Structures are given as structure tokens and as C-alpha cells.
């Protein structure tokens, strides 16, 4: 922020943005008094931020106005939230206090502003460091505070998401290291939170901004291909819609049909997680049917949606494996819709999403719309799902055995995890985390059932308790009165509740398990070349936030802290040990810096990269889009740097995956191009053919990304190769 006298042009821009806000606010305010309160909040904030500018040079007040517009237009909140959005930076950045806000605007608006002020700390304020508390635990505590407000007043979190969205929209004015920190936090924490709260529009926009700055070249290429593809397919999609429109009109439905193209981020994510090229993203297009339920009809809202589905599915061939019924089984964030994928007459698969107006409001505005309908008496079957999740989060937050560092991972995992629906032997529907075992299901039913479980029947077939459940499974738990929990259960119990129940049972044997754990602890450190001592034990105890060495050994003995956890704890200590230092690469010291390439993503020169100081002379370099880098940035943002590395002719390992039609001489053509024509060193080659189709990978050493992309382009020209992409080693 900076200070300089506002010009007449500044005042004109502020007035224009104010007028736009009032225009969209007028519909949300129920009385003239509410609208007057919004005007009063604007005047107060405008005066408080007078002559203050953002990094972009624009008047600071434009930021709270923009946040307020997101709050009303994209989330659908009302007068008090709009006022809180306008005032959200006043207490943090000026001499005014929460009591001043309370005296002028009342308790509720003051409470919202107070909640927003409390969570505006290191997550988006780089100056609050070294206050006698470690950076990573401070960030964890702040996120904990954000989530605690969910049960207090969810509007605080919704306004915070609006604030983060606008910060992302203007992120190009940030220095690169600060920009990467904000984007990493956004991907690790705020995007999953927006998804869980059902704010799909906000989630998608933040994802695309993340991709635009983290992988700019790939974002540009995908965006250009979308534009090119859409231009070619515009007529085909219109021809696909026409018969649907005609059929629904004949049935007397009131509806609108919208066209939707898959976002650059969702395409990029699918390309990288499924290892498929752009051409194989067959659900690129979607059509959304939004209907107004006929209240005079004998059919319910749900039945009217099914009638639309049965009508349109007779017009085109359907890919039944892609059908998704989130009307019968809504997602745990309240999302309801019926999805089907149909083949157009032009030979293109098109996804059709069927929603009522209520379902569409909830899909676009999430929890705010969900609770608004609930308040208005429009109860859906999924009302309890959000409340269940909030209760689950509260349970995690209030737990005494969760460390600051564990908290971030637990909450992140819970936010991004999906749920499946399974059934009891009597047909009762239960939701459980995707990846859960039969044992997790047993403990979910009742602690006693979990503790006495010996096996399970899934779809009438006898299976072990370790069996991973799939959506639609019917599960019966077999128990025995003499049965007791087993330590090995901790290796496949996935839910936190089941794991805690098992751990609590073995506390009766804590002494003997801890003695075994001490021996394992010593042996594992020895294998890793680390000498045991008070400092090392303290690292582990700090990480786990426990005070007794016996409790540490107890966890090791149970297998809770396995080899991977040992590695993470010792590595993360490298990052956190210097948290109070401010690291800057100076030109005269740059030559002394040692760069270590992260094995999780294997960056090469030309990749967008970010670095983390492991110590004063070592920087670990990751690709900006690396998941591990995102996790580290959410904890150790102050240790991030923009690497200034010089590869000086070095070669770097990469892997490419290939698929295609087999033919005589194909292998010679591939290896000849790589080795002889391009002079690239191959380290490993694994290609196999089956019934005329070949598939495999090649590991190579390349000097930079430019050389890699040139090689991929040349390989695609070889007859028979259908697909060649860079994949993780």
C-alpha cells in the first residue's frame, strides 16, 4: 500500500464502482433502511481508506467495493455481509476499532468484521512474521480460526473467499515470490474450501488464475485450442440443442439452455492426472438445462427432472457409464443435478446437465443458496449433509491430539476427499469417504461393531475388513463377541474416527508398545544416517505436538509414524528450522547457492519453478504446479524464492509416455530420431505391443524444456504414434 492524494479521475472511478455496487445491491436489500446502511458503510470505508493506494496504483477502496460485489452477485449474501465486505479492512489497516464499527453499525456487522480481521494474518499479510511463533503453526492456527467461524457464522468464510478471489484477480501486480505464495495457499486451502461449500463459479475462476500464472505456456496453449475447437463446433452444438429445445417446449416446460465449455484448468488437470492429450478430452462440451418446476403438476421436482432426462435420451445415443444421478444422491456440499453424456449427430460426445432453478442456484452460489432455500421452507433431502460436515470439522478442530502441522493436512485431505454411497443389509443409505475400508464402515455404524468386527460381506460375498468399498456396495459386518482390535488395522483404516478408536484401545498396552517403538525409532534413524538424541526427539515431538517421549515411541510402535513420516518430519525440519530468518538471494551470494532438484516433480530449465530454502546455502527447486510445492508453500511461504539457477550445460532426467498403432520398424524410427537425429541420451526404454497397439515410456536426459518440446513435436510426426506426452518419473 502507498499514500498519495486522489485525483479527480480517481474520484470518478470510485463513484462509478460505487454506483455499480448499489445497482446490484438494491435487489438484495429488503428495506430502504438496509440500502441506507450499505451507503453508510461505503462512506465510512471510503473515508477510512482515503488517499490509500494498492500495489497497482489504484485507490484502495476499489478492493472492498469489488469484494462486496462478489459477495452480493456471485455468492448471493445480503445487507449485513455487503457492509462487512466494505468494512473488512478498516480495523486491520486504519486506527478504527471493532467497537467503532459496533457503535455505528450494530453487533452483527461488527461481529462479521471482527471475524474477518482475526483471520487476515499471515495467509495474506507478509509483514506479520517473527512474532515468537513458528510460521507454519501460525498459518495452521489461522486456518483453524477460519474453519471455526464456519460453526459461528459461515458468512465470515464466504466473505473471506470473496476477498481471496479478488486478490487473485489482481495478482499480476504482486512480486513473483509473493504471487506464488498466494496462489499456492489458494490451491491448497481456499479452492478446496470453495468446492466443499459448493461455490463452483469461484472455485473454477481461482483454478484458472492458478494455472495462468503457475503454468503460463500450458494455459495459453489449452486456451487457444479451446477457442479453435469451439469455433469449429459452434454449429454442431446448436444443431444438438435444437431438437432438445423443441421436445421440451412441446411438453410445456419453462426452461433455459446454456452452453458450457470445460475450463482450461479442468482440461489441464485431466491431461496430467489421466495422462491423456487434449484430443482425448471427450467431455469438452456441456449443455445445461435449467427448468422451472411446474407447481401444478402431479410430478415432483425430482420426477420432472427425470422426465426431461427420459425425453432427451431418446433423441440421442447415451454413454450410460457417464450417467451421474446427484438428485437421488446429492453431493455432500448440497449439489443436485442429473448428468448424462449423449452422442451428437456430428459425432461429438456432449454432457447434458439437468437442474431445476433451485438446484442451479445451489450449484452456483453454494451454501448461501442452500441455506436460503432451507430458511424459506424449501427443504431438500440433503439438508443434513452440510451440517454433518460442519460437525465433523468441529470435531477435528477441537481435538487435543492434532498438531498444528497435522491439522493442515487433515483438513486439506477432508476438503478434497469425495464421498461414496453404500448400503446396509436392510437397504439404508450411508455416505462414507471414498477409499474407506469395510472396517471404517463398521466403526461408522458403531464403535462396538468396529471393535468386534472379524470380516465383512460386500454384495453377499465374504471379504476381509481391509476391503476397499465402492459406490453402491451393500455391506454387512460380521462380528464375534471374543474379537478385539488389531494393531495391523491401522495400516488400512482410512477414517480418522476409526483410527482414533483403534489407538484408544491399545493405550492399555502403552508401555510394551512404546518399548517396541523405541527400538524401531533407533533402528530407523540409524538406517537414515541420523544420530538419535534430544534434538532429534524434540523435532518429532514438536511436529506431533506431544510432550512425552513415551507417547512418541507409542506412536512409532503402533506404526502411525512410519518410514515416510520419518522422512517428512526430518525434511520439514530443514524448512522450519530457519523460519525466523529472511532469505534473499543477493547477486554476490548467488554463486554460493546450491540448487537441489526435487525428485517429486523433476523440473528442468524452462519449466516454471519455485524454490524453498532448506538452509542458508541450499534451495530445493520444484515445478510451480507440483503438489508437494503447494503443500510446502501453504506452510513455509516466507522461505519461498524465485530460483536464479544456471544449468551450465547439465542434463536433466525426464520421462515421456507413448501410445499408438504398432508396425514394423516403429521402434527403430523412435530411437533413431531421439539418439541419432536429436542427439538425446536415453536412459531407459519400455515399450510393449498387444494386438497391434503399442504403449510404454522412455526415460531420457535433456538440457531444457525447449529441447524436450522440439523432440515431442518431431515424435508426433512419426507414422503410428497417436499420443506422446511428458509424464512424471
Identify whether the C-beta of residue 262 lies closer than 8 Å to the C-beta of residue 233: no
pLDDT score of 137: 45
SS3 62: helix
Report pTM.
0.72
Would you state the pLDDT for residue 103? 94
Q: Which of 130, 134, 125 is nearest to 575 (CA)?
A: 134
pLDDT in tens, 243-288: 999 999 999 999 999 988 889 999 998 888 877 888 778 778 889 9
Neighbour tally for 498: CB within 10 Å = 24
Please list the residue range(s) of the chain that carry CATH number 3.10.20.30: 400-504
Strands 254-261 and 338-343: unpaired
Q: Which residues contact 102 (CB under 8 A, 6 or more apart)?
A: 110
Name the CATH superfamily, with its identifier, for domain 400-504.
Beta-grasp domain (3.10.20.30)
Which residues are bridge partners to 288 per DSSP? 258, 353
Strand-strand pairing, 349-356 and 285-292: parallel
Q: Range(s) for CATH 3.30.70.260 in the chain?
A: 652-727
The CA distance from 315 to 343, in Å, is 10
Within a 10 A sphere around the Cβ of 545, how many other Cβ atoms?
Answer: 15
Q: Which of 39, 93, 176, 283 is catalytic?
A: 93
For 439, which DSSP code?
H
| Catalytic residue status for 17 | no
Q: Are 495 and 444 in contact (CB under 8 A)?
A: yes
Q: How many Å apart are CA 440 and CA 247, to the nearest integer?
A: 47
Write down the catalytic residue from 39, 92, 383, 714: 92
Whether CATH 3.40.630.30 fits 216-383: no
C-alpha cell at 321: 457409464
- Rounded (5°) CA angle 702-705-707: 60
Other CB atoms within 10 A of residue 729 CB: 14
The grid cell for 638 is 516466507
pLDDT per residue over 156-178, tens digit each? 888 989 999 999 999 998 888 78
Residues 253 and 293: their CA atoms lie apart, in Å, by 8
Q: Where in the chain is the domain with CATH 3.30.460.10?
A: 216-383
- pLDDT tens for residues 496-530? 889 889 999 999 899 999 999 999 999 988 888 88
User: Residue 13: its pLDDT value, please?
Assistant: 94
Beta bridge partners of 661: 693
pLDDT at 387: 57
Place of cell 486456451: 223
93 is annotated as an active-site residue:
yes
Eight-state DSSP code of residue 605: T
- Homologous superfamily (CATH) for 652-727: ACT domain (3.30.70.260)
Q: How far is CA 430 from the centre of its chain?
A: 25
Q: How far apart are CA 620 and CA 597, in angstroms?
A: 6
Q: In angstroms, rounded to a whole number, what is the distance separating the alpha carbons of residues 666 and 717?
A: 12
Residues 6+ away with beta carbon under 8 Å from 643: 595, 609, 610, 611, 619, 621
Closest residue by Cα to residue 502 from 455, 456, 440, 562: 440
Residues of the chain with pLDDT under 50: 122-138, 376-384, 404, 578-584, 587
Report the C-alpha gap between 68 and 473 in whole angstroms: 45
Give, in words, the CATH class of 2-207: mainly alpha
CA 422 from centre of chain: 25
What pLDDT is stored for residue 380 in this prediction? 44
Q: Report the candidate in 469, 468, 505 with the shortest Cα–Cα distance to residue 486.
A: 505
User: Please, which contacts does 241-249 make with residues 24 or more away whose CB atoms are closer than 8 Å?
Assistant: 241/287, 243/315, 244/287, 244/289, 244/312, 244/315, 244/352, 247/311, 247/312, 247/315, 248/289, 248/291, 248/308, 248/311, 248/312
**pLDDT value at position 281?**
80
* Contacting residues for 13 by C-beta, under 8 A, at least 6 apart: 58, 59, 62
CB 114 within 8 A of CB 159: no
Continuous segment of H or E residues that includes residue 209 = helix 200-214
Which three cell numbers, joined as nine digits, stand for 395? 470435531
Length of the chain in residues, anyone? 729
Cα separations in angstroms, 395 against 80, 164, 167, 398, 474: 29, 26, 31, 5, 28
pLDDT, the chain, mean: 83
- Which residues have CB under 8 Å from 349's CB, separation 6+? 282, 283, 285, 319, 322, 341, 342, 343
pLDDT at position 661: 92
DSSP, residue by residue, 546-593: ---HHHHHHHHHHTSS-HHHHHHHHHHHHHHTTTTS-----TTTGGGP
Amino acid at each position: 500500500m502507498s499514500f498519495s492524494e486522489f485525483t479527480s479521475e480517481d474520484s470518478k472511478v470510485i463513484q462509478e464502482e460505487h454506483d455499480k455496487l448499489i445497482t446490484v445491491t438494491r435487489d438484495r436489500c429488503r428495506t430502504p433502511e438496509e440500502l441506507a446502511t450499505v451507503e453508510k458503510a461505503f462512506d465510512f470505508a471510503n473515508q477510512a481508506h482515503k488517499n490509500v493506494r494498492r500495489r497497482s496504483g489504484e485507490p484502495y477502496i476499489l478492493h472492498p467495493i469489488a469484494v462486496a460485489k462478489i459477495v452480493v452477485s456471485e455468492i448471493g449474501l445480503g445487507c449485513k455481509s455487503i457492509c462487512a465486505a466494505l468494512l473488512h479492512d478498516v480495523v486491520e489497516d486504519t486506527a478504527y476499532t471493532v467497537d467503532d464499527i459496533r457503535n455505528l453499525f450494530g453487533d452483527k456487522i461488527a461481529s462479521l468484521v471482527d471475524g474477518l480481521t482475526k483471520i487476515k494474518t499471515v495467509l495474506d499479510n507478509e509483514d506479520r512474521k517473527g512474532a515468537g511463533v513458528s510460521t507454519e503453526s501460525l498459518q495452521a492456527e489461522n486456518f483453524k480460526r477460519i474453519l471455526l467461524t464456519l460453526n459461528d457464522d459461515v458468512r465470515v468464510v464466504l466473505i473471506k473467499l470473496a476477498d481471496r478471489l479478488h486478490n487473485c484477480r489482481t495478482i499480476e501486480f504482486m512480486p513473483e515470490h509473493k504471487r506464488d505464495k498466494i496462489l499456492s495457499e489458494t490451491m491448497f486451502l481456499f479452492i478446496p474450501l470453495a468446492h466443499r461449500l459448493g461455490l463452483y463459479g469461484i472455485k473454477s475462476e481461482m483454478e484458472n488464475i492458478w494455472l495462468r500464472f503457475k503454468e503460463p505456456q500450458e494455459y495459453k496453449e489449452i486456451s487457444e485450442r479451446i477457442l479453435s475447437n469451439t469455433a469449429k463446433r459452434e454449429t454442431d452444438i446448436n444443431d444438438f440443442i435444437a431438437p432438445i429445445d423443441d421436445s421440451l417446449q412441446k411438453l410445456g416446460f419453462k426452461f433455459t439452455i446454456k452452453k458450457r465449455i470445460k475450463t482450461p484448468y479442468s482440461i489441464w488437470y485431466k491431461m496430467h492426472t489421466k495422462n491423456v492429450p487434449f484430443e482425448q478430452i471427450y467431455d469438452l462440451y456441456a449443455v445445461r438445462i435449467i427448468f422451472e418446476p411446474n407447481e401444478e403438476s402431479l410430478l415432483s421436482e425430482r420426477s420432472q427432472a427425470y422426465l426431461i432426462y427420459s425425453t432427451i435420451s431418446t433423441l440421442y445415443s447415451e454413454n450410460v457409464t457417464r450417467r451421474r444421478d446427484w438428485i437421488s444422491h446429492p453431493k455432500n456440499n448440497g449439489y443436485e443435478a442429473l448428468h448424462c453424456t449423449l452422442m451428437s449427430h456430428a459425432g461429438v460426445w456432449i454432457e447434458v446437465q439437468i437442474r431445476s432453478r433451485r438446484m442451479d442456484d445451489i450449484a452456483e452460489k453454494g451454501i448461501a443458496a442452500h441455506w436460503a432455500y432451507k430458511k424459506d421452507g424449501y427443504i431438500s433431502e440433503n439438508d443434513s449433509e452440510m451440517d454433518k460436515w460442519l460437525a465433523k470439522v468441529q470435531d477435528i478442530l477441537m481435538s487435543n491430539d492434532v498438531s498444528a502441522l497435522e491439522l493442515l493436512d487433515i483438513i486439506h485431505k477432508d476438503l478434497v476427499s469425495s464421498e461414496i454411497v453404500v448400503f446396509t443389509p436392510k437397504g439404508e443409505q450411508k455416505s462414507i469417504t471414498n477409499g474407506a475400508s469395510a472396517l471404517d464402515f463398521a466403526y461408522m455404524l458403531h464403535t462396538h461393531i468396529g471393535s468386534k468386527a472379524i470380516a465383512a460381506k460386500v454384495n453377499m460375498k465374504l471379504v476381509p475388513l481391509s476391503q476397499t468399498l465402492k459406490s453402491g456396495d451393500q455391506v454387512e459386518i460380521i462380528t464375534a463377541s471374543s474379537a478385539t482390535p488389531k494393531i495391523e488395522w491401522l495400516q488400512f483404516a482410512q477414517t480418522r474416527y476409526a483410527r482414533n478408536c483403534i489407538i484408544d484401545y491399545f493405550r492399555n498396552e502403552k508401555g510394551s508398545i512404546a518399548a517396541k517403538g523405541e527400538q524401531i525409532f533407533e533402528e530407523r534413524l540409524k538406517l537414515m544416517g541420523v544420530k538419535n538424541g534430544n534434538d532429534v526427539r524434540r523435532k518429532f515431538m514438536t511436529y506431533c505436538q506431544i510432550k512425552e517421549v513415551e507417547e512418541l515411541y507409542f506412536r512409532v510402535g503402533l506404526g502411525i509414524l512410519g518410514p515416510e513420516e520419518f522422512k517428512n518430519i526430518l525434511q520439514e525440519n530443514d524448512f522450519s528450522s530457519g523460519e525466523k530468518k529472511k532469505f534473499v538471494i543477493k547477486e554476490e551470494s548467488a554463486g554460493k547457492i546450491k540448487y537441489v532438484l526435487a525428485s517429486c516433480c523433476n523440473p528442468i530449465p524452462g519449466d516454471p519453478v519455485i524454490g524453498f530454502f532448506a538452509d542458508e546455502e541450499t534451495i530445493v527447486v520444484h515445478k510451480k504446479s507440483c503438489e508437494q510445492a503447494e503443500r510446502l508453500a501453504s506452510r513455509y511461504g516466507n522461505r519461498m524464492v524465485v530460483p536464479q539457477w544456471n544449468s551450465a550445460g547439465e542434463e536433466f532426467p525426464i520421462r515421456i509416455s507413448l501410445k499408438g498403432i504398432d508396425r514394423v520398424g516403429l521402434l527403430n524410427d523412435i530411437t533413431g530420431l531421439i539418439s541419432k537425429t536429436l542427439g538425446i541420451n536415453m536412459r531407459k526404454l519400455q515399450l510393449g505391443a498387444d494386438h497391434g497397439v503399442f504403449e510404454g515410456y522412455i526415460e531420457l536426459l535433456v538440457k531444457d524444456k525447449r529441447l524436450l518440446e522440439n523432440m515431442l513435436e518431431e515424435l508426433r510426426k512419426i507414422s503410428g504414434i497417436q499420443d506422446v506426452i511428458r509424464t512424471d518419473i
